[in-house]
Amino acid sequence: MARQRLGQHFLSDEGWREEIARAIGVSWYSSLHAAPANDESFCWIEIGAGHGEMTEHLIASGAPVYAVELDAPLAAGLEKTAKKVSNLTVVHADVLETDLAALAPGRRIRLYGNLPYYITSPILHHFFTFADWIDEIHIVIQEEVALRLTAQPETKAYGYLSVVTQLYTRPEFVLKIPRAAFSPPPEVGSALVTLRLPGERAKLALRDEVAFLDFVKKCFSQKRKTLVNNLRSVAEADAVREALALQNLRTDARAEQLSVSQFAKLQSELNFHLS
């Protein structure tokens, strides 16, 4: 039985499980399935493994699989599966308190998760703290959030979460998943998103990523206001206008119009101006 407080919606439709398996390269019918048996150069970490709906596909890849599950009865069920196979380890824990890098020292990480929709953003931020160890993230999330992760500048869905995601990853909206694929069905549409690492971060020489993200958050603090207005607490209006002009941007530009690299240049110019 699904627990509402944990945001549980199990992927019960076998056909859609196979669609996802093909998309992430763990179906035997997928041309992407390139992992030889017992390949331990990387591992899969599954977030919210549930009843093991997708775990069996990950196990079949031959790579080590770490299934992270908070719900004790579900973790106990997964332990029964772990006794039958050699490459499954069950981790009864809250993903937000789990050191992903410590689960598989020396291995690259591929993540899969059917994420609780109400804490998608905190989980993503937690993933990104381990960006140096992760190659791919495949997540089933609310469709509206999927559109925000993959949104481009000057679109309605583009915002702070888009910038954070694209700083660390190269996001791709892979496929929509109908409500009926889940038990119980969620109230909203879902989607599979693939996040490949690295993202723009690899091209930028950021001195302090936390400071950069704080700066971006200020830029989006009131989305409909101009950057000149949103940055009044950190820079003089004329300095912001001058920094925007140096990138051939309108002096009345809003945050939703800037790419990740443009935010980085804006911050750098303003820091130079203030130093």
At residue 11's C-alpha, the angle toward residues 10 and 14, to 5°, is 140
Q: Which of 183, 202, 221 is the last residue of a domain?
A: 202
Here the CATH number for the domain that contains residue 26 is 3.40.50.150
For the stretch 134-182, pLDDT in tens is 999 999 999 999 999 999 999 999 999 999 999 999 999 999 999 999 9
Q: What is the domain count for the chain?
A: 2
Are residues 33 and 147 both part of a single domain?
yes
Check: pTM over 0.75? Answer yes or no.
yes
Q: Using the 3D structure, point to which of 178, 202, 226 is the last residue of a domain.
A: 202
Q: Which of 152, 154, 265, 146 is nearest to 216 (CA)?
A: 265
Give the residue-averaged pLDDT of 259-275. Answer: 85
pLDDT at 7 over 60: no
pLDDT at residue 5 above 70?
no
Neighbours of 14 (CB within 10 A): 10
Sign of CA dihedral 78, 105, 34, 15: positive
**How much is the pLDDT for 243?**
96
Structural domain range at position 50: 4-202
Pair (139, 241) in one structural domain = no
Are 152 and 225 members of one domain? no
Of 205 and 85, more confident: 85
Whole-number Cα distances in Å, 2 to 69, 88, 141, 177:
13, 23, 17, 19
**Angle, CA 269 vertex, CA 263 and CA 272 arms, to 5°:** 140
pLDDT, tens only, 12-69 = 999 999 999 999 999 877 544 445 555 678 999 999 999 999 999 999 999 999 999 9
Least confident of 3-12, 97-106, 203-212: 3-12
Single residue among 172, 202, 232 that ends a domain in this structure: 202
Model confidence pLDDT, tens digit, residues 96-110: 999 999 998 889 999
233 and 114 in a common domain:
no
Q: Is the pLDDT of residue 6 over 50?
A: no
Percent pLDDT > 90 in the chain is 84
3-state SS string for the chain? CCCHHHCCCEECCHHHHHHHHHHHCCCCCCCCCCCCCCCCCEEEEEECCCCCCCHHHHHHCCCCEEEEECCHHHHHHHHHHHCCCCCEEEEECCHHHCCHHHHCCCCEEEEEEECCHHHHHHHHHHHHCCHHHEEEEEEEEEHHHHHHHHCCCCCCCCCHHHHHHHHHCEEEEEEEECHHHEECCCCCCEEEEEEECCCHHHCCCCCCHHHHHHHHHHHCCCCCCEHHHHCCCCCCHHHHHHHHHCCCCCCCCEHHHCCHHHHHHHHHHHHHHHC
pLDDT number for residue 178: 96
Give strand pairing partners of 39. Answer: none
CATH number at residue 236: 1.10.8.100
Residues 19 and 100 in one domain: yes
Q: 171 and 58, same structural domain?
A: yes
Q: What is the mean pLDDT of the chain?
A: 92
